[in-house]
Structure 1
Amino acid sequence: MRVGLTGGVASGKSTVSAILAELGAVVVDADQLAREVVAPGTAGLREVVEAFGPGVLTRDGQLDRPAMGRLVFADPAKRAVLEGIIHPRVRARGAELEAAAGADAVVVHDIPLLTETGQADRFDAVIVVDVPAAVQVERMTALRGMSEQDALARMAAQATPEQRRAVATYVIENTGTLEDLRRRVTEVLEELVGRAG
């Protein structure tokens, strides 16, 4: 069973992903893979530096994610260039991890830009984690130290909640307690396991 997991920035998708992993799903985390494919010494990082210059590196040769974010979230053309470097590498690595999972596994691909990249039809089911826009802004400014302007730019660069819901098999509202969230995630996973069997 191949499942796509997505949600807007600061929706709590990473928490849902962690709960799914705890409950026994095999989670393939696109964000983690996106870091891996541009780690120091990789062809991915070399290509990013060729496209954007050495100013996107920290002093120790890592990708400077905040600087990169400010650059690409303000310019759709630059974002497309970055995505063209990273996304194919992430997909290839995700396919390797999926191939290593057991035949009866529920494999959850945690993909922040699943809707934006038109990948929903590649999965047997799609889970969308959703919260109101005001909650997203509050979480990004309070928990991640972003300015409201940066938070709104991140949100504007992503699909709308309506676009995400249009591809959803399951919607998980993340506006309650952690216990509420865990209960809903457990329900969804049980349904997925039932469908897989």
Structure 2
Amino acid sequence: MADLVVALTGGVASGKSEASRAFEALGIAVADADVAARAVVEPGEPALAEIVAHFGPEVLDADGRLDRPAMRRRVFADAHARAALEVILHPRIRTWLRAAAEAAPGPYAVVAIPLLTEAGGRASYPWLRRIVVVDVSTGTQTRRLLARDGVDADLAARMIAAQAPRRQRLALADDLLINDGSREDLAAAVARLDARYRAMAEAGSVA
């Protein structure tokens, strides 16, 4: 594992994916919790069997895979269902991400974890050394959700409300990426963090 493992997190539609691409463009490996979440529910994986046992076979599509859009609607409408799903998925996602960080080349590794706050932050991921929060206003999140996902305003509001409050995410942050400007602005901010993290890795420092 890289001595310096950096978590990248933020609320829905904050620009985490764009920030991840900016780190990757600088040659940094990014392990994505969304990729992990898909991998651990592939047919034959224990997590999928647990999900079916808890929620019923209607969560599967015609090919026997998890019907992700239907599951998404269900958990955003029911906090208990969301909590049950997280109990099944989060430990497996943590294991997947740590293995990916261990295999990552380069001076440091990034793990993109959208639900880091909800998953327990540093208490659940004690091997993280820095946490970067991509931050935008709630209004910006709503506008992006409406444009990106084609959802209505009610679902957008519920998606935002289902996540940890913005203040809780900010409380975790060692570093902030304010993403209320252009892609070029975000890429420049990522480049500044990259230079800092490379220097930390070279010096053996995480402060």
TM bracket, shorter-chain basis:
over 0.9
Kept after mapping to 1: 8 A contact 2:90/2:119:
no
* 2:150 counterpart residue number: 145
Kept after mapping to 1: 8 A contact 2:12/2:160:
yes
CA 52–139 in structure 1, closer or farther in 2 if over 3 Å, else same: same
The within-5 A match list for 1:34-183 is: 34-102=37-105, 105-120=107-122, 122=126, 123-183=128-188
| Structure 1, 21-30 or 118-127: larger mean CA deviation | 118-127
The alignment's TM-score, normalised by the length of structure 2, stands at 0.90
- Tell me how far 1:35 sits from its aligned partner: 0.4
Kept after mapping to 2: 8 A contact 1:26/1:105:
no
How many residue pairs match? The answer is 196
Q: For residues 148 and 169 of structure 2, what CA distance do their matches in structure 1 show? A: 24
Kept after mapping to 1: 8 A contact 2:121/2:172:
no
Q: For residues 77 and 177 of structure 2, what CA distance do their matches in structure 1 show? A: 29
Q: For residues 119 and 90 of structure 2, what CA distance do their matches in structure 1 show? A: 9
Kept after mapping to 2: 8 A contact 1:129/1:174:
yes
1:179 alignment partner AA: E
- Identity, in percent, stands at 45
* 2:6 counterpart residue number: 3
Q: For residues 190 and 109 of structure 1, what CA distance do their matches in structure 2 show? A: 17
Q: What's the Cα RMSD here?
A: 1.3
- Tell me how far 1:40 sits from its aligned partner: 1.9
* 1:190 counterpart residue number: 195
* 1:25 counterpart residue number: 28
- Tell me how far 1:181 sits from its aligned partner: 0.8
Instruction: Describe the superposition over 1:138-188 as per-residue Cα deviations: whole angstroms up to 9, x where unpaired.
Output: 111121111211111111111122111111111111111111111001001
